[in-house]
Chain A
Amino acid sequence: MSQDFRLNNIGMVNRNKKISFTFNGKKYFGYEGDTIASALIANGVHLVGRSFKYHRPRGFFGVGVDEPYAILQLERNNERDPNIRATEQEIFEGLEVKSVNCWPSVNFDIGAINNFLKMFFPAGFYYKTFMWPPSFWYKIYEPFIRMAAGFGEASIKHDKERYEHKYEYCDLLITGSGPSGLASAYAAAKNGARVILAEDKPRYGGSLLTSDVNIGNQTGTEWSEKIITELKSMSNVIVKNRSQVFGYYDHNMLVMSERISDHLPKTQKYLPKQRLWYIRAKEVLISSGSIERPLVFGNNDTPGVMLSSAAKEYMKVYGVLVGKKPLIFTNNDSGYETAIEFKKNGVNPLILDTRKEPSSDIITEAKNLGIEIKFSYVVVAAKGYKKVKSADIAKISDNKKDLSNIENIKCDCICVSGFWTPSIHLASQSGNKSEFNEKIDAFIPKKSKQKENTIGSANGKFTLEETINEAFDKGYEVSNKITENNNKVSIPTVVEKKSTEHDKFWCVPLPKGKSYKRFLDFQNDVAVTDIELALREGFRSIEHVKRYTTLGMATDQGKTSNLNGLQLVSDIENKVVPQVGHTTFRPPYTPVSIGAIVGREVGKHSKPTRKSPMHEWHEKNNAVFVDAGVWLRPRYYKQGNETLFEASKREAKNVRKNVGVCDVTTLGKIDVKGPDAAEFLNRVYTNAWLKLPVGKARYGVMLREDGIVMDDGTTTRISENHYHMTTTTAQAANVLSHLEYYLQLVWPELNVNVVSTTEQWAGAAIAGPNSRALLMKLFPNTDVSNEGLPFMGYKEADLFGIPAKIYRISFSGELAYEVNVESDYGNFMWEKIIEVGKEFQIQPYGTEALSTLRIEMGHVAGSELDGRTIPHDASLEGLVSKKKDFIGKRSLSRSAFTKPDREKIVGVVPLDKTTSIPEGSYIVKDPKAKLPNPKLGHVSASCWSVEYDNPFSLAIIKDGKNMIGQKLFAMSPLKNKTIPVEIVSSHYVDPEGKRVRA
């Protein structure tokens, strides 16, 4: 296929490498280095999408991040990527892209009927239309809006690509590699600063790639190539292309998204698709350049109307003509550069200049080249539907209000230049309040807020000489502040055709009797009439006008529309722009992939996975694991085809009958040491600790200051000033922070140290009537008799040569011990217990059996201590000391916590003794009561009691103490179940606690 719009002798694409791709199913080809936009334009394709609201045909408007039109959907490796700007995405072999927001096709789009109904789609259409009746929202309005909204379709599949995060520190971050970025990076790097230079495009050089200038006797392209090559060779410089610094956050933290593999057919091995850089910079130079401003005229959104700088870049960088009969419409000298470029490439442009009698070097040059120029002329309206075919042009009066000599001329593109808008987004994000500069009719950054400076055209400097001088000076100045070096490089001489005066004219009036749509925001279809309407309806604040009309709210964030919108508001309001003010810029500057934000923290990588030293043994013995916080714990050990229910019942039964062993390594463990340790524990726990003898353990409950139970566990006095505290698995980290808080801030006079020892100890709970017999075999040299090691006793012992600690504590309610050894010996301990335990019918048990055992014993755990219960509610009031003060004690006497019908834990048994009660069920008196049915409380935990072979649950209900014996109902609306139940004591098994003391 021939490329009718490709130029032969110009451009930076690699002509030796042809690349084929498909657009809407049709095959095209371009060259390596082409973007989708440049390759399609080379093939004469200008219709790529439909607009958001009216479904008007959309082509290309810009050549970079500012593109409001050419938003496409990309397919790569069977993945869908929406919201791709055709002007940024480079082509690769096999690339597939599609248009969005059109159906059935971009050429014939049903939604375009909106275009003819546009009088019905004014600003605020949605607010006005989708109001009544409220019942219509769910079934009619919302689906309608959802169908009409959005650009493209996100993939619903798991994204297999890899995204990475990287943290970097530097002296100086420079955002943009145009003339100011290159010059300042060079000056700073030569002065010894650690520099990061970021460029969002594939090629470095910015405007130097397209402007006809001379720096130090070289062309702009040659000079930028020389500088970048030298910067890349310096060890104190990081140079990154395809990298957008999109956010400026607090304390000079900037975030940059690097597109590493987006331009490749497939992500290379060992490389991510994108990488997000968190950069903490001592200083920042914002050299993000400027974006050309559109001129506003009738049908100025027709494909073929584009920024004149874009037309120039398509020629100079990609060797592509955007049209063969161009019309240049400008209010400043920039349009002339584009016209001259056309002329040099054998195409005759016509320039319409809104100015009356301008004169400058470049105008003279254009005249000398024989380019036709009409002064005081404007484009009234573009003609043509899917592509510009002609334009109505007219002479405009000196006061810019009246049009005359309207005529129609043939053209195939209209290149507009309404002067330049500095890209102040990053400066604004840093907190810098910008100020309006009358000379350039745009906002520029004011006083630095963080450690940032804006340079070059982003700072309103539009001549290369100013830019280069400022950049070299700033680069030196900033680096000198950091490195204190004094190596100044010489500033090269600059030759350019100076010209900066622009006409303060931006919107062409409508000719009499015409009602052309004149668009301000090209992505959200906001026209001049929409703003006028919003103001007529009383919206004044620019922030309100923005939200009502959606001006500047599309994915391009109004990069091309903001200032024209402000101009319009200030014209109508007879204010000047600075009084109107501008809306706040917020990150991200350009859209960022969700994948890049998430990085590697997906699935199992979103948090660390902690495994006990016995994990491998569990795996080998068919353990099915469950997430317990960040830990993986065996839930049950599967035998044959057992279900969870069958396995946990078997395991729990075996504990009640013989002996079982459970991995309790995950319990939080904290060493509490120091002469004041006893006093500290006395203040932390609700019960008394001063008299606990060495070698004894005690169960303790700790509260928050608001009286709510924070955690429970046993703490053992190992020696005079040394306590071993255990916490629940879930609360371990919080408890440590809590203890540190009181020791460091509240009672610094207490001489106590705390440190987490969770990972230092591996733990095994040995529980069941056979546990003592097993212990005697495991520790033949230690007296583990009921007298030698009584309930809540502690002993150090020798486990086949390994030092071990035995705590006689029980969560299962059986005669039980917890044996701890240093983690490295954990597996050894476990295997010995299993080996020696064989003759006692030992079986390992998981968390499910553990739950069963504790529930039927009425021992509380996380589902009861859920951040809402005080000790009384969990029947722990016996552990609350009346004599001493402790954390949270004062709260317990607050009225809500002392009322007589305060909630309390009870046991719940279904009357039929077979129906399991779903956890979370409500306990109610009358299941048929009028809704909302007043609930007495909720079921916190359920199990199948292995002791009595029927279901048993724990519940926390109002006035629980006096409810025992009552027949009530457990209702689960979620499971659609109503179960008649009887309330019993929460201590369902062994209420006197004989077994643990046996």
Chain B
Amino acid sequence: MLYIFCPHCGLRSQNEFAYGGDATVKRPELNKEISDKDWDNFVYLRKSPRGKHLELWHHISGCRQWIKVERDTSTHEIFKTYKADELTE
């Protein structure tokens, strides 16, 4: 079970969190034309990288904040965690 540092609460066990997928995906702006292909990419297509991955976790049984976690998908090493509005390196 992972040990995740919530920037709001501190170190907490994984079972307090819900996984939220790729944190680098940006939602297209509202009221803007977008091609079928670009929209499909946004809705469905995700990379599944081996190694460093910036992902979203929701501290669902804690402060209920969405956070960003930089994690190695093959070793589970967590390098850094960020608040939702924090700029990632």
Of the listed stretches A102-110, A739-747, A801-809, chain B binds A739-747
Known A-B contacts A706-B43, A737-B58, A737-B60; A746 and B27 likewise in contact (beta carbons under 8 Å): yes
> A748 near B: Cβ within 8 Å?
yes
| Complex contact B3–A745 (CB within 8 A) | no
Bitwise interface map of B from 1 to 38 toward A, beta carbon under 8 Å scored 1, else 0: 11100000000010000101000000110110010100
Contacts of B43 in A (CB 8 A): 705-706, 891
Bitwise interface map of A from 715 to 753 toward B, beta carbon under 8 Å scored 1, else 0: 000000000000000000000010011001110100000
A-B contact pairs, 14 of them (CB 8 A): A249-B1, A251-B76, A252-B3, A431-B75, A706-B44, A737-B60, A740-B58, A741-B58, A744-B65, A744-B66, A745-B56, A748-B84, A890-B39, A891-B39
Q: Which of A278, A741, A748, A891 contacts B20 (CB 8 A)?
A: A741
B70 to chain A, nearest CB (A): 15
> A894 near B: Cβ within 8 Å?
yes
Known A-B contacts A744-B66, A894-B36; A251 and B60 likewise in contact (beta carbons under 8 Å): no
B84 to chain A, nearest CB (A): 4
Contacts of B89 in A (CB 8 A): none
Known A-B contacts A249-B1, A253-B3, A431-B75; A705 and B42 likewise in contact (beta carbons under 8 Å): yes
Distance in angstroms between the alpha carbons of A746 and B76 in the assembled complex: 26
| Complex contact B30–A683 (CB within 8 A) | yes
Q: Which of A251, A278, A741, A744 contacts B2 (CB 8 A)?
A: A251
B54 to chain A, nearest CB (A): 12
A894 to chain B, nearest CB (A): 7
Contacts of B28 in A (CB 8 A): 890
Listed in ascending order, the chain A residues whose CB lies under 8 Å from chain B are 249-253, 278, 280, 431, 683, 705-706, 737, 740-741, 744-746, 748, 884-885, 890-891, 894
Known A-B contacts A251-B1, A737-B18; A280 and B13 likewise in contact (beta carbons under 8 Å): yes
A959 to chain B, nearest CB (A): 24
Known A-B contacts A890-B34, A891-B43; A740 and B1 likewise in contact (beta carbons under 8 Å): no
Q: Which residue of A lies closest to B56 (CB)?
A: A745
- State the interface size on chain B (CB cutoff 8 A): 27
| Complex contact A250–B66 (CB within 8 A) | no
| Complex contact B2–A740 (CB within 8 A) | no
Give the tally of cross-chain contacts (CB within 8 A). 54
A891 to chain B, nearest CB (A): 6
Contacts of A737 in B (CB 8 A): 18, 58, 60
| Complex contact B64–A740 (CB within 8 A) | yes
Distance in angstroms between the alpha carbons of A894 and B13 in the assembled complex: 41
Among A252, A280, A884, A890, max chain B CB count under 10 A is at A890
Q: Which of B35-89 contact A (CB under 8 A)?
A: 36, 39, 42-44, 56, 58, 60, 64-66, 75-76, 78, 84-85
Q: Which residue of B lies closest to A893 (CB)?
A: B36
Known A-B contacts A252-B3, A748-B84; A740 and B66 likewise in contact (beta carbons under 8 Å): yes
Among B27, B28, B60, max chain A CB count under 10 A is at B27
Distance in angstroms between the alpha carbons of A643 and B63 in the assembled complex: 46
A739 to chain B, nearest CB (A): 11
Q: Is the interface of B mostly helix, strand, loop or mixed?
A: loop
Q: Which residue of A lies closest to B67 (CB)?
A: A744
A944 to chain B, nearest CB (A): 41
Distance in angstroms between the alpha carbons of A615 and B2 in the assembled complex: 39
Q: Which residue of B lies closest to A742 (CB)?
A: B27
Distance in angstroms between the alpha carbons of A280 and B16 in the assembled complex: 15
A107 to chain B, nearest CB (A): 48
A681 to chain B, nearest CB (A): 14
A248 to chain B, nearest CB (A): 12
Known A-B contacts A737-B18, A737-B58, A741-B66; A253 and B1 likewise in contact (beta carbons under 8 Å): yes
Contacts of B84 in A (CB 8 A): 744-745, 748
- What 6 new A-B contacts, CB under 8 Å, besides A251-B76, A740-B64? A250-B3, A251-B1, A252-B3, A740-B65, A746-B27, A890-B28
Contacts of B44 in A (CB 8 A): 706
Distance in angstroms between the alpha carbons of A536 and B31 in the assembled complex: 68
Contacts of B56 in A (CB 8 A): 745
Distance in angstroms between the alpha carbons of A106 and B77 in the assembled complex: 51
Distance in angstroms between the alpha carbons of A250 and B84 in the assembled complex: 25
Q: Which residue of B lies closest to A895 (CB)?
A: B36
Contacts of A252 in B (CB 8 A): 3
Contacts of B66 in A (CB 8 A): 740-741, 744-745
A781 to chain B, nearest CB (A): 39
Distance in angstroms between the alpha carbons of A253 and B3 in the assembled complex: 8
Distance in angstroms between the alpha carbons of A280 and B66 in the assembled complex: 24
| Complex contact B85–A748 (CB within 8 A) | yes
A826 to chain B, nearest CB (A): 25
Distance in angstroms between the alpha carbons of A745 and B84 in the assembled complex: 6
Contacts of A891 in B (CB 8 A): 39, 43
| Complex contact A885–B20 (CB within 8 A) | no
B56 to chain A, nearest CB (A): 7
Pairs A-B, 4 closest by C-beta atoms:
A251-B3, A885-B30, A744-B84, A885-B31
Contacts of A280 in B (CB 8 A): 3, 13
Distance in angstroms between the alpha carbons of A557 and B58 in the assembled complex: 38
Q: Which of A250, A683, A894 contacts B76 (CB 8 A)?
A: A250
| Complex contact B34–A250 (CB within 8 A) | no
Contacts of A705 in B (CB 8 A): 27, 42-43
Distance in angstroms between the alpha carbons of A103 and B30 in the assembled complex: 73
Q: Which of A278, A744, A884 contacts B1 (CB 8 A)?
A: A278
Contacts of B13 in A (CB 8 A): 253, 280
Among A251, A278, A741, A748, max chain B CB count under 10 A is at A251
Among B34, B58, B65, max chain A CB count under 10 A is at B58
A73 to chain B, nearest CB (A): 33
Distance in angstroms between the alpha carbons of A489 and B18 in the assembled complex: 46
Q: Which residue of B lies closest to A733 (CB)?
A: B60
Distance in angstroms between the alpha carbons of A737 and B20 in the assembled complex: 10
Contacts of A706 in B (CB 8 A): 43-44
| Complex contact B58–A250 (CB within 8 A) | no
Contacts of A253 in B (CB 8 A): 1, 3, 13
| Complex contact A250–B85 (CB within 8 A) | no
Distance in angstroms between the alpha carbons of A741 and B18 in the assembled complex: 12
| Complex contact B2–A250 (CB within 8 A) | yes
Q: Which residue of A lies closest to B65 (CB)?
A: A744
Contacts of B27 in A (CB 8 A): 705, 746
B77 to chain A, nearest CB (A): 9
Distance in angstroms between the alpha carbons of A741 and B43 in the assembled complex: 15
B79 to chain A, nearest CB (A): 13
Q: Which residue of B lies closest to A754 (CB)?
A: B64
A311 to chain B, nearest CB (A): 41
Among B28, B34, B43, max chain A CB count under 10 A is at B43
Contacts of A746 in B (CB 8 A): 27
Distance in angstroms between the alpha carbons of A705 and B34 in the assembled complex: 14
B45 to chain A, nearest CB (A): 12
Q: Which residue of A lies closest to B1 (CB)?
A: A253
Contacts of A745 in B (CB 8 A): 56, 66, 84
